[in-house]
Structure 1
């Protein structure tokens, strides 16, 4: 009898443990479901909504335990997703199009920005002679990494100005201090980066903004249309099998996007981890101010923007060239989850 009671007790504990891992039980005192999300540079302002949601307690409020990880570039982050090591990536939407050309179904479930949030920065010493993409000829241009969104956008800007890939050299410059060092020591003449890196270069006088794609007007002037960028994208099969968790992620992120629209840059910066300011809170707040307008506030994809991304990639992505008519854009994003976020 004692043995039977012991076995029953063990089974009861085991069943209680199983109930604790169910996302349906989250928020009722049970252990929340864990979701790993890779961010393509967690301290970049373009991906701020992910960390801000964590800081505001948004994921926990939805009954989720979200683990935010980081890689220096979106190209690296997507590889971790494909390997199955994470359930989602906060990165540029264009990766979903590029990966579909390789037979992978990846979809954006929350579209946080309609513009890249990138700036083309020129070294101060080169600013007099490098005043636009037409002056890229013979120059060394920094991109995050080969095959990254900054690589494709740089190629597009150069081609639009009448240049070919043989007219300039792209250099892997990374972001943050590696990018700053490359511009400072002459490793690159100009390059594409984001805040807070851009704010640091401008504030120190080391760089000047050549093209500003942090706003709709600047993006349309540079690219001829919107270019949806920062998003949460996930494997299509995982989304289908975990709709409850995806909905909770959408709820949390969209609520943060709405919160951003109702608060100042200083208030937003104050909510972020202290180390993101790198010892200069005022400069970090300025970086947030310069980029915060890129976030759309609703998480919705603009169909015209998605088509513009496909147009760009069909010209410059080795994977998408020649496959434009084979890409099903409807599978690269969904608005089903953000449409259900409570008002």
Structure 2
């Protein structure tokens, strides 16, 4: 009888130990589950998100990362502020804009140093030669309050147009953008690859302003313009530094992959439906535009000032506000990346 009692106790103790280990493992896994919303992960400007997943770099870091797709960056931003996701792959300019509204988010990995955006104009309007000729026209943007909207408003102001001279129309990207231009719902619009190449190939549109390269961005915006990034709420970053470091490790490895491989090699790691039936065009766009990505995830030194200057040119939200740019990004994690 004594043996039975001891045996039962031993088994019970072992069972509790196993259960405790399983619970601890489960908690560790839950802690490393991170949800990131991407402002259109088929866009080449946000390529590092899906590429990191495809290369297995998240798993290498012991992370369980779920990527959610959202057509407009402003909607992804709202999901972050609501606590529905832990991070956003979107434009850095949201970090500046949100600080003006009293909310603190920061870029923890800076993917690009140029917007990768182009203002396309419909070939139904051959008389439009510059941004100043867009007065009275409907201009496509991904969403109202999105980075494409910010850049459109800046370019309009720079060309001497007043608020109300143009109408921003939210049309997303890809097929919805193309349909809006074909149906004359927009006469021009700001978009990215592969949408750009698709409209150029069919000769339905032409380039009015090109910001796909660092040089093009400097000419259009007056300086280096850090754009695509992984940004997160500052409080979350401070409370989850180990997880953020793992994300930085994965993304810095991804950026190095982009900088050391051809467009064709990168394309092979991406979902095939991203080619939209034109792999050659997709690869050509990658080869032409991958220079916009940083090599190491570090914020370009002169970039934040350019973004603040651009937003201050048209945004009443930002004008007159004291913005602490040092709190809109951090290089702590990328500089410590493996």
Deviates more, 1:234-243 or 1:274-283: 274-283
Provide, for residues 70-126 of structure 1, a one-character-per-residue CA deviation record: whole Å limited to 9, x for no partner.
111110001111111111000000111111122211111000101111000111121
Task: Within 5 Å, give how 1:174-185 maps onto structure 2.
Answer: 174-185=172-183
Number of residue-to-residue matches in the alignment: 333
- Find the aligned partners of 2:91 and 2:59 in 1 and give their Cα distance: 25
- Find the aligned partners of 1:15 and 1:106 in 2 and give their Cα distance: 36
- Find the aligned partners of 1:110 and 1:224 in 2 and give their Cα distance: 23
In structure 1, what is the equivalent of residue 146 of structure 2?
Answer: 148
Deviation at 1:42? 0.8
Task: Within 5 Å, give how 1:259-270 maps onto structure 2.
Answer: 259-270=257-268
Structure 2, unmatched stretches of 5+, are none
Task: Within 5 Å, give how 1:198-213 maps onto structure 2.
Answer: 198-213=196-211
The normalised TM-score by structure 2 is 0.94
Deviation at 1:286? 2.2
Task: Within 5 Å, give how 1:117-132 maps onto structure 2.
Answer: 117-126=116-125, 128-132=126-130
In structure 2, what is the equivalent of residue 164 of structure 1?
Answer: 162
Judge conservation of contact 1:32–1:65 (CA < 8 Å) in 2.
Answer: no
The normalised TM-score by structure 1 is 0.93
In structure 1, what is the equivalent of residue 328 of structure 2?
Answer: 332
Deviation at 1:69? 0.7
Deviation at 1:168? 1.6
- Find the aligned partners of 1:124 and 1:178 in 2 and give their Cα distance: 18
- Find the aligned partners of 2:206 and 2:118 in 1 and give their Cα distance: 10
In structure 2, what is the equivalent of residue 27 of structure 1?
Answer: none
- Find the aligned partners of 1:262 and 1:212 in 2 and give their Cα distance: 25
1:341 aligns with 2:337: yes
- Find the aligned partners of 1:237 and 1:22 in 2 and give their Cα distance: 21
- Find the aligned partners of 2:101 and 2:17 in 1 and give their Cα distance: 47
Judge conservation of contact 2:92–2:231 (CA < 8 Å) in 1.
Answer: yes
In structure 2, what is the equivalent of residue 247 of structure 1?
Answer: 245
Provide, for residues 52-74 of structure 1, a one-character-per-residue CA deviation record: whole Å limited to 9, x for no partner.
01101111111111111111111
Judge conservation of contact 1:141–1:189 (CA < 8 Å) in 2.
Answer: yes
Task: Within 5 Å, give how 1:5-16 maps onto structure 2.
Answer: 5=10, 7-16=12-21
| Root-mean-square deviation over aligned CA pairs | 1.7
Give the structure with higher Rg (CA).
Answer: 2
**1:32/1:265 CA distance change after superposition, 3 Å:** farther
